[in-house]
């Protein structure tokens, strides 16, 4: 029995070990070694470098704003979808999943048409007389955020729908029968019960934004984020040591975020 399981699992395990685990472990390990001795020099260098810190903070800021925007936009929409009849729900879900499956290059590119100097948004605003000169939106952190919200909003919507559609609609009726207004019933019943979905969705969006490459590369212009900075160090500058340090920092942040959010999820879990 044990042997049978091993035979089935081994090819996949070996494959992942050789081509994923070993590369990652050695890459991470190499950042702590210099001339055969343990060192944190690489990290000290980065965390002492204002240029890198600015990139790091921009990345975190963009990711945080993106996540908050996704929650604010996604939560009500998910609630609306989860209370629709079967057909409408399927249609709305399909329309949210479609962008999710569409190439990120295509989706980010679409914002280049809209946000450019002669793009749709500037043209419209000028036509409406709201501004005289076209604004610089494309190639700014704002453009990145818009692109990232567009990229990840479907993810949080469908995750939340998955959780909300399992909430018994009678719970709201029960709350209303106990004297709650519709809004306070929503706030006191739906919101707490959606917390697990909200946390998973937020992790997906935050980590996704933190590590996204295509959107910042296309919409961010000269403004670097850590993923594009990693790419620049590895490919353009050929500085593999720095790239490895950045990769390690990225993974550390990712896992820290996941761990912290899981911790929050466990303490907030309404089922105790």
Partner 1 sequence: MQENNRGLGLFTLLVYLFLLGPLVIIALSSFEPGTVLKFPPTGFSLRWYQKIFEVEMFMKTFKTSMAVSLLGNLFALLLGIPAAYALSRFPFKGKDALNAVFLSPVLIPGIVLGFTMLKFLIVTYHLPIYTGLLVGHTVVMLPFIIRVVESSLANFDFAVEEAALSLGAGRLQTFFRVVLPNIKSGIIAAVLIAFLESFNNVDISVFMTGPGVSTLPIQMLTYVENYFDPTIAAISVLLMALTAVLMFVIERLMGLSYFTKR
Taking CB under 8 A as the rule, does residue 110 contact partner 1?
yes
Strand partners, 34: 37
Query: How many of the other CB atoms lie within 10 Å of CB of 146?
Result: 22
Q: Cα(219)–Cα(143) distance, rounded to whole angstroms?
A: 6
Tell me which H or E stretch contains 130: none
Per CB under 8 A, the list member of 65, 68, 135, 211 interacting with partner 1 is 211
- Smallest distance, partner 1 to C-beta of residue 248, A: 8
CB of 3 or CB of 50, closer to partner 1: 3
- Is residue 177 at the binding interface for partner 1, with CB under 8 A as the rule? no
DSSP state of 6: H
CA pair distance 257, 200, nearest whole angstrom: 11
Q: According to CB under 8 A, which residues from 124 to 143 bind partner 1?
A: none
Member of 63, 223, 227, 242 binding partner 1 (CB under 8 A): 227
A 10 A CB-CB count for 122 gives 20
- Burial 263-272, CB ≥16 within 10 A → b, else e: eebeeeeeee
Least Å from the CB of residue 272 to partner 1: 21
Applying CB under 8 A, among 56, 62, 138, 153 the residue interacting with partner 1 is 153
15/57 with CB nearer partner 1: 15
Residue span binding partner 1 (CB under 8 A) among the ranges 39-47, 48-56, 58-66, 116-124: 116-124
When asked if residue 205 is in the footprint of partner 1 (CB under 8 A), the reply is no
Least separation in angstroms between CB 165 and partner 1: 8
Question: How many binding residues for partner 1 (CB under 8 A)?
Answer: 89
Position 175 contacts partner 1 (CB under 8 A): no
CA gap 209, 221 in Å, rounded = 16
Q: What is the x/- site pattern for partner 1, positions 36-75, by CB under 8 A?
A: -------------------------------------xx-
- For 22-140, where are the alpha helices, taking DSSP H only? 22-30, 41-47, 50-82, 86-101, 104-115, 120-127
Minimal CA–CA distance to 269: which of 195, 204, 203, 201?
A: 195
Q: According to CB under 8 A, which one of 136, 213, 261, 265 is a site residue for partner 1?
A: 213
Say whether residue 188 binds partner 1 (CB under 8 A): no
Distance CA 58, CA 78 (A): 29
Member of 71, 138, 148, 218 binding partner 1 (CB under 8 A): 218
């Amino acid at each position: 029995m044990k042997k049978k399981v091993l035979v089935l699992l081994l090819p996949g395990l070996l494959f992942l070990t050789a081509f994923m685990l070993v590369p990652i472990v050695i890459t991470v390990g190499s950042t702590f070694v210099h001339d055969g001795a343990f060192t944190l020099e690489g990290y000290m260098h980065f965390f002492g470098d204002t240029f890198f810190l600015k990139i790091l903070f921009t990345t975190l800021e963009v990711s945080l704003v993106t996540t908050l925007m996704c929650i604010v936009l996604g939560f009500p929409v998910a609630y609306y979808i989860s209370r629709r009849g079967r057909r409408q729900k399927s249609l709305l879900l399909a329309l949210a999943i479609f962008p999710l499956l569409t190439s990120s290059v295509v989706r980010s590119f679409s914002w280049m048409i809209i946000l450019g100097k002669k793009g749709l948004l500037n043209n419209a605003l000028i036509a409406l007389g709201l501004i005289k000169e076209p604004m610089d939106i494309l190639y700014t952190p704002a453009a990145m955020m818009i692109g990232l919200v567009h990229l990840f909003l479907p993810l949080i919507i469908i995750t939340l729908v998955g959780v909300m559609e399992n909430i018994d609609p009678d719970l709201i009726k029960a709350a209303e029968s106990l004297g709650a207004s519709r809004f306070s019933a929503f706030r006191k019943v739906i919101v707490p019960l959606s917390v697990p979905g909200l946390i998973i969705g937020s992790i997906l969006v935050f980590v996704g934004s933190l590590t996204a490459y295509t959107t910042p590369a296309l919409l961010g212009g000269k403004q670097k984020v850590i993923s594009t900075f990693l790419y620049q160090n590895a490919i353009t500058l050929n500085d593999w040591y720095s790239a490895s340090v950045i990769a390690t920092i990225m993974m550390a942040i990712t896992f820290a975020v996941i761990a912290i959010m899981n911790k929050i999820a466990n303490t907030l879990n309404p089922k105790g």
